[in-house]
Amino acid sequence: MTANIDSFATGPMWVGFIAFVLGMLALDLFVFGGRKAHRVPVREALAWVIAWACLALAFAGLLWWYLNGTQGAEVAQRKTLEFLAGYLIEQSLSVDNMFVFVMIFGAFAVPPELQRRVLLYGVLGAIVMRAGMILAGVWLVSEFAWVLYVFGGFLVITGIKMLVFTGHEPDLEKNRLLRWLRGHLRITPRFHGEFFFVRQNGVLWATPMFLVLLLIEASDVLFAVDSIPAIFAVTTDPFIVFTSNIFAIMGLRALYFLLADMADRFHLLKYGLAIVLLFIGGKLLAMPWFHMPIAWSLAIVSGTILVSVVASLALSKPKALATGEET
């Protein structure tokens, strides 16, 4: 049994969007100081978070305008809601990446001024890997429709595991990739600025920054295994899947710099993400018997994330006050 994969996107639309992404990355790297080592202030991070959210909304508006004129209001509304739901799901699940970034940077004691560049290269690698995984996912769904139920079951299991193990901090020193790299590479004992490799006495050495980069890329692969199947619950259009993923990834770096110092205050967010995974997995498993409108999915996902964020902030204030009183 196969699934019908339909997409409105033309070749020029794919080329145009990829050119837009490459252009934004070039601006970040060469114009806005992406290559300069500096600590990203909260105001700068907030500006980029707002900018990427506005760009995503502007893209949704252009999407509706184009489809309304070419395929009618019904298709325009459906595809626009699919993009917004996909973007929200990907943005929400990518927040979990932020907690991993905090752990990796903390374990290696990466100075704040050196974090921006490694995350930029992490974004570049994530875009390439996500593109490959999305193409593979679309092909699997188009050839074997039952793969969607496998995705659903996997997301339900992942959501349950996240609920059970929330609060459990993994030991990075036991990470198999890190142990293998340390056993097979010459690694300098300290950072050498933003360089990933340095030559000492004619011998090429990797720096700790290279290990940080590889761990960040590996973490994105693991999280993509969750997030990409999740978006198939709202759309199988490869253009919608790709664009919503990319907008979420592009905004992740700024979101990290905005919230990294406050990560502990969002202690309930992982429960919200787990509930989102359970909902999306259940939605995929229930497809033969129940079709949920995209607007409902968008409302449930956004409501769950909003409640978990508000509850985290509300409950973190009494803890902070209690800690202050004890001291």
- pLDDT tens-digit readout, 262-272: 666 777 777 88
Do residues 197 and 204 make contact, with C-beta atoms less than 8 angstroms apart?
A: yes
The Cα 79–Cα 190 span in angstroms is 50
What is residue 150's predicted lDDT score, i.e. its pLDDT? 84
Element (H, E) at 204: strand 203-206
- Dihedral sign computed on CA atoms, order 17, 22, 26, 32: positive
Q: Residue 171's CB: how many other CB atoms inside 10 A?
A: 7
Distances (CA, A) of 270 to 92, 158, 264, 309: 10, 12, 11, 10
Nearest partner of 270 among 97, 40, 24, 17, judged by Cα: 97
Measured in degrees and rounded to the nearest 5, phi and psi for residue 264 equal: -65, -25
- Dihedral sign computed on CA atoms, order 183, 187, 190, 191: negative
State the pTM of this model.
0.79
What is residue 63's predicted lDDT score, i.e. its pLDDT? 92
Q: Residue 168's CB: how many other CB atoms inside 10 A?
A: 6
Name all contacts of 194-203 with Cβ < 8 Å and 24+ positions apart. 194/37, 194/114, 194/117, 194/118
Tokens of 125: 């690698």
What is residue 56's predicted lDDT score, i.e. its pLDDT? 92
CA 304 to chain centre: 18
Nearest partner of 234 among 130, 148, 128, 136, judged by Cα: 148
What is residue 166's predicted lDDT score, i.e. its pLDDT? 64
Do residues 228 and 83 make contact, with C-beta atoms less than 8 angstroms apart?
A: no
**Residues in the chain with pLDDT < 50?**
1-2, 320-327
Q: Which residues are within 8 A (CB) of 324 and not within 5 positions of it... i.e. 6 or more apart?
A: none
The Cα 248–Cα 266 span in angstroms is 19
Beta bridge partners of 204: 199
